[in-house]
Structure 1
Amino acid sequence: MADEVIRVSAVVVRRADGRVLTVRKAGTVMFMFPGGKHDDGESPLQTARRELVEETGLTVALDELDHLGAWDTAAANEPGRLLHSEVFAVARQLADHEVPVPAAEIERLAWMDPHHPVPPDGFSIAPLLLEVFGHLSSVSR
């Protein structure tokens, strides 16, 4: 159904320098957070963890994900569709050996400054990314 809301979970991964991990799926033009649609019977938290592993190879425990909130935005890759996103943040610094890599449908990773997000190579930024970056900028110290 065209007017059905797409429900997803997304994950914010921050480095010590404040930059945030973004991904771009193959065949798309927008960078976004790692994340995706829920599997049947899966909670938003479980989706966030699964998608982070599938798309970046990063593994975190469920209790290492903090719920930042829910956002309703335009969908990045499905024009005219609405997106409801439960957004989580990894609540710890990544260890030196935890290096994200593009996996599954992810073609590229980029670390962006949430205060001044600039996508590489002329690509775009997903509406959810901009909304959450605005939130992160307003609550950062």
Structure 2
Amino acid sequence: MIDKIAWIHLRDGRILSTRSHGKDVWYLPGGKREAGESDLDTLVREIDEELSVRIDRASARHLGTFEAPAHGHPVDVRMTCYTADHSGEFVAANEIAEIGWLTMADLGRISPVDRLIFEHLHDAGLLDP
């Protein structure tokens, strides 16, 4: 099981997503926990590393936890998702090649676990078709 933390950032019916260098699939921003890190520690570190913005810890709220097969690997992914306010301007950093705003129309471009999350958000009326 791959244990990941993701940031759910919605704006105008779209969700912030990232594409890493050399990848053709888009992922929600976030990543794997390092030894001893809490969910929020991981969220704050990963979002700073990938997008160059600061997560407001006090505003973080658990949105849900989702499991699905990993894209291209024979293992499952558990994605624990949080919403949170942030400060700063988005700048793709480290492994991130591109930042984009996706909708349900982009289901063919995202990982299996992200599809579950997109469907959940769409069913809740938060993500555009």
Correspondence 1:80 to 2:74? yes
1:8 maps to: 4
Query: SS at 1:117's partner residue?
Result: helix
Identity value in percent:
29
Residue 24 of structure 2, aligned match among 21, 29, 32: 29
Q: Using the alignment, how far apart are the partners of 2:35 and 2:96 within structure 1? A: 22
Q: The residue matched to 1:140 in structure 2 has which SS? A: coil
Report the counterpart of residue 50 of structure 1 in structure 2. 45
The residue matched to 1:137 in structure 2 has which SS?
helix
Q: What is the aligned-residue RMSD (CA, Å)?
A: 1.9
- Structure 1 position 19, deviation (Å): 1.3
Aligned-partner residue type, residue 118 of structure 1: D
CA distance in structure 2 between the aligned counterparts of 1:40 and 1:63, rounded to whole angstroms? 23
Aligned residues: 126
Structure 2 residue aligned with 1:109, among 71, 77, 99? 99
SS of structure 2 residue aligned to 1:118: helix
Gaps of 5+ in 2: none
Unaligned runs of 5+ in 1: none
**Counterpart position of 2:90:** 100
Q: CA deviation at 1:124?
A: 2.3
Q: Which runs of 4+ in 1 moved over 4 A?
A: none
Name the structure where strand makes up a greater proportion of residues: 2
Partners of 1:32 and 1:128 within 8 A in 2: no
Q: Are 1:18 and 2:13 matched, yes or no?
A: yes
Is the counterpart of residue 133 in structure 1 residue 127 in structure 2? Answer: no
